[in-house]
């Protein structure tokens, strides 16, 4: 697929320049877990690729060799895209999900320039262009975006993390500033929090949230505000738009595609909603279910990217600057 790299990048319309000074001066880091489709992965990579960013790909250990070879052939064409050699056997609802992203994060930390880290899955797709993402992240003023609610019970027992911290649970998708990523990837306290998370029901949801919602760790950009569950539930988060765990009465209203387990795979009738969302990413879209959704989202990102390059104008970030969690982040 990608043996002739120059032809591959040209035919697949990769953006091989930074396009704007704002993007060039604000590099990002991504880890991407995948196990299913080289085509879907490559479509995602192409949508978010810029030469100043860094991309670590974690291919599930269970994935067939043909899939791994396909990803490696693509990665070989780029100096800032690489496959993690420490492959993880990723299992649903297990700490292996966090381990997969952590393995990539530690390798991404070798590169000193990037400002923010995001963890993705091949079923994600951007709703914003790279320029829009960088402008939005600048407006966060160094804040992380991690969903979090108090986590108190294991088998009916109250159990707290180490170091006098309190447990929290949240979304598997996170947006971390560089300093928090350094702590997660390199600080021994992070390892002990990870060991605690193993004993929880959904450790991959609890690890990052617990780090972000404990002021005692004194990490720049983490949350230092009220911890009442009602307050935390009221916050708007911007990393990812997903629809899951819906009551039956809400399913057809909020998910016009189909349910895969408890998660919506968005369909054609969801497109008007997706175009209007404020989040950076959507989860989940699939190439083999109403694939026109993926194609239309890709076309929209390409259209706006061209327009922003040809007719530069400042992106309006007022909505993001006024997110409530920002004022409680240091």
DSSP string for residues in 163-187: TT---EE--S--EEEHHHHHHHHH-
Is residue 2 pLDDT above 60, yes or no?
no
Segment 97-117 shows an average pLDDT of: 96
Segment 19-34 shows an average pLDDT of: 97
Is residue 140 pLDDT above 80, yes or no?
yes
pLDDT at position 93, please? 74
Give the Å distances, CA to CA, from 302 to 39, 46, 133.
17, 10, 14
Share of the chain above pLDDT 70, in %: 95
pLDDT band with cut points at 50, 70 and 90 for residue 39? very high
- Closest by CA to 70, choosing from 87, 88, 83, is 83
pLDDT band with cut points at 50, 70 and 90 for residue 198? confident
Segment 284-291 shows an average pLDDT of: 93
Is residue 251 pLDDT above 90, yes or no?
no
Segment 87-114 shows an average pLDDT of: 92
Q: 10 Å Cβ neighbour count for 306?
A: 13
pLDDT at position 260, please? 87
Classify 233 as helix, strand or coil: helix
Is residue 87 pLDDT above 80, yes or no?
yes
pLDDT band with cut points at 50, 70 and 90 for residue 245? confident
* 303-310 contacts, C-beta under 8 A, 24 or more apart: 304/129, 304/132, 305/15, 305/19, 305/129, 305/130, 305/131, 308/19, 308/20, 308/129, 308/131, 308/132, 309/19, 309/20
**199 or 173: which carries more pLDDT confidence?**
173
pLDDT at position 249, please? 64
Q: 10 Å Cβ neighbour count for 157?
A: 7
Q: Among 154-158, 179-183, 252-256, 310-314, whose mean pLDDT is lowest? A: 154-158
Is residue 330 pLDDT above 80, yes or no?
no
pLDDT at position 206, please? 93
């Amino acid at each position: 697929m990608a043996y002739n790299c120059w032809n591959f990048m040209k035919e697949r319309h990769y953006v091989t320049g930074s396009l704007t000074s704002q993007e060039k001066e604000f590099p990002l880091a991504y880890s991407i877990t995948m196990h299913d489709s080289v085509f879907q992965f490559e479509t995602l990579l192409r949508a978010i690729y810029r030469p100043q960013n860094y991309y670590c790909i974690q291919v599930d250990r269970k994935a067939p060799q043909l899939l791994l070879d396909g990803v490696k052939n693509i990665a070989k064409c780029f100096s800032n895209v690489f496959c993690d050699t420490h492959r993880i056997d990723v299992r649903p609802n297990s700490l292996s999900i966090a381990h997969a992203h952590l393995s990539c994060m530690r390798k991404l930390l070798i590169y000193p320039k990037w400002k923010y880290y995001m963890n993705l899955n091949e079923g994600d797709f951007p709703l914003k262009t790279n320029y829009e993402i960088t402008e939005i992240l600048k407006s966060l003023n160094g804040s992380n975006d991690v969903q979090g609610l108090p986590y108190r019970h294991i088998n009916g027992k109250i159990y707290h993390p180490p170091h006098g911290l309190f447990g929290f649970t949240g979304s598997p998708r996170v947006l971390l500033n560089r300093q928090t990523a350094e702590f997660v990837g390199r600080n021994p306290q992070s390892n002990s929090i990870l060991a605690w998370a193993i004993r929880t029901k959904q450790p991959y949801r609890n690890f990052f949230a617990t780090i972000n919602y404990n002021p005692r760790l004194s990490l720049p950009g983490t949350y230092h505000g009220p911890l009442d569950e009602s307050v935390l539930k009221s916050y708007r988060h911007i990393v990812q738009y997903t629809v899951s765990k819906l009551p039956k009465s809400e399913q057809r209203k909020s998910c016009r595609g189909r349910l895969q387990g408890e998660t919506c795979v968005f369909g054609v009738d969801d497109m008007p909603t997706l175009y209007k969302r404020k989040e950076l990413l959507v989860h989940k879209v699939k190439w083999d279910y109403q694939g026109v959704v993926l194609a239309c989202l890709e076309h929209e990102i390409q259209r706006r990217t061209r327009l922003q390059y040809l007719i530069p104008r400042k992106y309006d970030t007022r909505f993001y600057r006024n997110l409530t969690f920002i004022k409680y982040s240091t």
